[in-house]
Structure 1
Amino acid sequence: MAAGGDCGGREAACGYDSYRSPLASRYASPEMCFLFSDKYKFRTWRQLWLWLAEAEQTLGLPVTEEQIQEMKSNLDNIDFKMAAEEEKQLRHDVMAHVHTFARCCPKAAGIIHLGATSCYVGDNTDLIILRNAFDLLLPKLARVISRLADFAKERADLPTLGFTHFQPAQLTTVGKRCCLWIQDLCMDLQNLKRVRDELRFRGVKGTTGTQASFLQLFEGDDQKVEQLDKMVTEKAGFKRAFIITGQTYTRKVDIEVLSVLASLGASVHKICTDIRLLANLKEMEEPFEKQQIGSSAMPYKRNPMRSERCCSLARHLMTLDDSANRRICLAEAFLTADTVLNTLQNISEGLVVYPKVIERRIRQELPFMATENIIMAMVKAGGNRQDCHEKIRVLSQQAAAVVKQEGGDNDLIERIQADAYFSPIHSQLDHLLDPSSFTGRASQQVQRFLEEEVCPLLKPYESVMKVKAELCL
């Protein structure tokens, strides 16, 4: 084999004989993979040539209806083998496909690519793909938010231990914690929609963006050149095109696209890290199927493999921020985002909560959290704040020693109940230790957030909410 590799072998290699990206072969959805396929790309090139010819005909250039119909009837008739052979000879992918299209459209051969440059098909196709890829991601993200919103609403009042620095802090609710996840995803939904809606077409600009070739075709008629640009832009489904381009559309567009996808990756990474930590505490689990195996050696294992996958791919997504290698990173970014959203939807549709485990952990920590309330209750009953504080400090240290040194349960409340000093409030202890009294306005915040921010944001996606996420692997 030659040092550069065998082109024919590359063509033939498929299935188990050649490397395939796991994103395409294992994880991403068929519809997202198709968007970045050669078939979709080169079919779109032909569609762009057709739109250009139609607009040129409308504006008076010598393009016949017979030529238009011939192009239309051959949009999907792509001889990939011929195109590969042409590119091998010409070292130019666009001209290879011009020749391939011309072969099956002999009558239209002379007007294909008339006045255009390579970036007319290359860049405009990329922009069409970016727009359509966003259109695949947006409803998927909306469904994830919807599933998590249902989860949050159902558990808005369920107290749970909150953490700072992953150390026990004050109580929150399971629903409130979930709303923190949802809030980040809502920001991502808005940002993805904004970038999608702000995408502009490169349009019909010629080799260096000056439209000189089209000005010559229309014999100096500026208005017709502008009409041509507008007509093709509208045919492609864009509201507007760039007024200024060089050979390419500005790559700032790619940077912004990758930036919002990286931000989505950050959100997913945080959510799934939380789920993995909570799974370790046995408070919450992702779905675990009946026949699923967690470990080949340890039958009891229930590894959070979906959350692990999301975290791993989200980290990858956050690194794809360099548009210089755009042929690789743009496709990878969308396939990765597609995968993490499919997986996260599957997780969110089957999250399992273990209230008894949560309750036990609250009982272990709540006595310490309740000490301030106990002190205030004693002062209201006529006690001295400083004396009470010292009593609580001593008893707390004793209880902590039982937990840390002996591995026992937190018995601070039993010690308080046994101490006659606290007899004025013994009857209040159950009330003072009610977990719901430590969650503040968490449940009200959940209700207001879902009603005022989440529901309006999801309204445009109501028609696609019933789609379930099924994972092949």
Structure 2
Amino acid sequence: MKLSSLNAISPVDGRYRNKVEDLSAYFSEFALIKYRVLVEIEYFIALCELPLPQLDGIDTSLYPELRSIYENFSEEDATAIKEIEKVTNHDVKAVEYFIKEKFDILNLAAYKEFIHFGLTSQDINNTAVPLSIKDALEKSYIPVLEEVIEKLSSLAEDWKDIPMLARTHGQPASPTRLGKEISVFVTRLTQQCEVLKSVPDAAKFGGATGNYNAHKIAYPKTDWKAFGTHFVEDILKLHHSFPTTQIEHYDHMAALFDAMKRINTIIIDLDRDIWTYISMDYFKQKIKKGEVGSSAMPHKVNPIDFENSEGNLGIANAVFEHLSAKLPLSRLQRDLTDSTVLRNIGVPFGHTLIGFHATLKGLSKLLLNADKLAADLENNWAVVAEAIQTILRREGYPNPYEALKGLTRTNQKIDEQVIADFIDTLEVSEAIKNELKVISPSNYTGI
């Protein structure tokens, strides 16, 4: 059966494929093979540039043709490599043999034993995978995250003067402003985005057990450590991890996934808050003609975008958690558990982007119900008790907290008149009473 959105096992490749399709350029099997080819080609060119004595005579005008092997990499090329893998039963060796065939076509057969010279598979995997993650972050993930931040910043500005009843422990609390509450998420996401960007894109490159054994035995006078750092940092634009075992230690990658997990957690927090505000009728939602909110209840307009986001970000975090906890662990100098785990990096990226897009969609549908916010404030005059007792403290009034506690911790309804009557009983000047009577739930909102 041909793979389609209807028969795919994962919703990332099925129901939600149109939201994450660009990730296939970084995390598909095709993408992994292409990045491996890129590393092998650039490594060969770097050996030519060193130069190794046997490569000193290569015509540099051939470099564009060599680079075209990965720049013009096609599905047919990837299929050819998979056919070779059926024989080798080794994915990276299949890439080497594929490139050797290309060298034959380019009349470079005399040099093809310098493809993969002195390397182990992990020198290719542990550079190809960080490259793919780096590109996915820069081209797919960060632009959408910044779109979320920009949308929230815009809403925070639009609603900066909208007073709102705060709730702590679910109970009415000192009033705030809706825009300020949204700006809290802007600040949190912006700070964590900077943390994420600061994590190095680390790569291992050092031969079979990380010591350049094969390189040194063949060319003992060459500074292979300097060469490896130059190759990784100047050519591939990654951070060179050294020393390592046979594999990258993945500590930086774990930090990256932990940062992505924190960002998702912040957006889940946002999703739940907006969901709650909708349930409180602080927001209405734009209605799209033809849409159905419930198969049984015609009136319903559900906050499904925020629920969708929360669910997908939760799945993403579960996988990110496993990646960050598992990848830094490897028995002695190398075991293979990282290999299969790394193939799943696209899964939490996919669910994360699905979540981001769902949050964006939900935010774009919000309609402020200012009357409901105003009504909640008007129905909760008890929240100005903090303001009154604070001014009374300033004036040296005896036991002001207890006086307000006695007024407000009863079952009677506290409204504007009750507060005004209480103020009139206070033994303070008329100027202070007037100052207190100006305070209301809608203007007691701080800075």
Structure 1 pair 215/68, CA: closer, same or farther in 2 (3 Å)?
Answer: farther
1:298 counterpart = 2:297: yes
Is 1:148–1:182's contact at 8 Å kept on the other side of the alignment?
A: yes
Query: For residues 151 and 390 of structure 1, what CA distance do their matches in structure 2 show?
Result: 36
TM-score by length of 1: 0.76
User: What is the match of residue 210 of structure 1?
Assistant: 211
**C-alpha separation in 2, matches of 1:22 and 1:355:** 38
Task: State the Cα distance separating 1:178 from its structure 2 match.
Answer: 0.8
Does residue 440 (structure 1) correspond to residue 446 (structure 2)? The answer is yes
Q: Which residue of the other structure, out of 156, 159, 181, is the alignment partner of 2:163?
A: 159
1:333 Cα deviation from its structure 2 partner: 2.3
397, 408, 422: which one aligns with 2:411? 397
Answer yes or no: is 1:243 the counterpart of 2:234: no
Map of 2:78 onto structure 1: 80
Note the C-alpha offset of 1:48: 1.0
SS across alignment from 1:103: helix
Any idea what the Cα deviations from partners look like across 1:208-249, whole Å, max 9, x if unmatched?
1111222234x21232562354135422123x4122121111
Alignment partner of 1:129 out of 129, 132, 135: 132
- Using a 3 Å threshold, how does the CA distance of structure 1 residues 33 and 220 change in structure 2: closer, same or farther? same
Contact 1:55 1:228 in 2 (8 A): no
Aligned counterpart in structure 2 of residue 339 of structure 1, from 354, 357, 362:
354
Give the Cα separation in 2 of the matches to 1:124 and 1:390: 66
Quote the residue 2:34 is aligned against: 43
Q: Which of 194, 197, 201 is equivalent to 1:193? A: 197
The answer as to 2:222 corresponding to 1:231 is no
Counterparts of 1:29 and 1:438, CA distance in 2: 45
Report the CA distance between 1:167 and its aligned residue: 1.8
1:259 Cα shift? 0.7
Greater CA deviation, 67-76 or 368-377?
Answer: 368-377
Unaligned runs of 5+ in 2: 327-339
Instruction: Indicate how the Cα distance of structure 1 residues 414 and 95 shifts in structure 2: closer, same or farther if over 3 A, else same.
Output: same
Spell out, residue by residue over 1:395-431, the C-alpha distance to the aligned partner (whole angstroms, 9 max, x if none): 95333xxxxxxxxxx6x44567799976999x96995
**Can you list the C-alpha shifts for 1:118-169, whole angstroms capped at 9, x where unaligned?**
1122110111012122213223222222221221122222110101122221
Query: Aligned equivalents of 1:56 and 1:208: distance in 2?
Result: 20
Deviations 1:155-203 (A, max 9, x none): 22211010112222121110111122122212211111111xx223323
SS for the counterpart of 1:201 is: strand
SS in 2 for 1:222: coil
Q: Measure, in 1, the Cα distance between the counterparts of 2:9 and 2:405.
A: 68
Any idea what the Cα deviations from partners look like across 1:351-397, whole Å, max 9, x if unmatched? 3211101111111112x2235667899999xx9989x9599749953
Q: How far, CA to CA, are the matches of 1:139 and 1:269 in structure 2?
A: 19
Q: Once the two structures are superposed, what CA deviation does each residue of 1:299-332 show, in whole Å capped at 9, x if it has no partner?
A: 2111111111111122222222223463254222
Q: Secondary structure at the match of 1:322?
A: helix
1:23 match: 12
Aligned residue in 2 for 1:470: none
In structure 2, the CA distance between the partners of 1:82 and 1:227, relative to structure 1 (3 Å rule), is closer
Structure 1 unmatched ranges of 5 or more: 1-11, 400-409, 442-473
Residue aligning to 1:170: 174
Distance in structure 2 (CA, Å) of the matches to 1:418 and 1:182 = 41
The answer to whether the 8 Å contact 2:174/2:386 transfers is no
Q: Do residues 150 (structure 1) and 149 (structure 2) align?
A: no
Cα RMSD of the aligned pairs, angstroms, is 3.5
Tell me, in whole angstroms, the C-alpha distance in 2 between the residues paired with 1:307 and 1:332. 20
State the one-letter code of the partner of 1:200: A
Corresponding position of 1:138 = 142
Partners in 1 of 2:38 and 2:152 — Cα distance? Answer: 40
Partner letter of residue 45 of structure 2?
E
- Structure 1 residue 69: deviation in Å? 5.5
Question: How far apart in 2 are the matches of 1:233 and 1:395?
Answer: 65
* Distance in 2 of aligned mates of 1:17 and 1:349: 28
Deviates more, 1:220-229 or 1:260-269: 220-229
Deviation of 1:80 (Å): 3.3
1:310: which partner in 2? Answer: 309
Report the equivalent of 2:88. 90
Which residue of 2 is the match for residue 119 of structure 1? 122
Helix, strand or coil for the counterpart of 2:300? coil
CA 13–287 in structure 1, closer or farther in 2 if over 3 Å, else same: same
Aligned CA distance change for structure 1 residues 373 and 257 (closer, same or farther; 3 Å): closer
1:259 equivalent to 2:258? Answer: yes
Q: Distance between the aligned counterparts of 2:91 and 2:398, measured in 1?
A: 86
> How many residues get paired?
410
Cα distance in 1 for partners of 2:9, 2:294 equals: 26
State the one-letter code of the partner of 1:274. Answer: D
Q: Which residue of 2 aligns with 1:56?
A: 47
After superposition, the Cα gap between the structure-2 partners of 1:369 and 1:100, relative to the gap in structure 1 and judged at 3 Å, is same
Q: What secondary structure sits across from 1:156 in the alignment?
A: coil
The residue identity in structure 1 corresponding to 2:356 is L
**Per-residue deviation at 1:23?**
2.2
CA distance in structure 1 between the partners assigned to 2:240 and 2:151 by the alignment: 37
Cα gap change, 1:208 to 1:67, in 2 (>3 Å): farther
Q: Which has the higher contact order (CA 8 A, sep 6+)?
A: 1
Aligned 8 A contact 1:162 1:170 in 2: yes
The more displaced of 139-148 and 117-126 is 139-148
CA contact (8 A) 2:420 2:437 kept: no
Q: Using the alignment, how far apart are the partners of 2:374 and 2:404 within structure 1?
A: 29
Secondary structure at the aligned position of 1:113 is classed as coil
CA distance in 2, matches of 1:194, 1:419: 56
Q: Which stretch shows the higher mean deviation, 34-43 or 229-238?
A: 229-238
| CA distance in 2 between partners of 1:340 and 1:287 (Å) | 20
The CA distance in 2 between the partners of 1:291 and 1:418, in whole Å, is 53
Q: Aligned equivalents of 2:255 and 2:384: distance in 1?
A: 48
Letter in 1 for 2:253: D
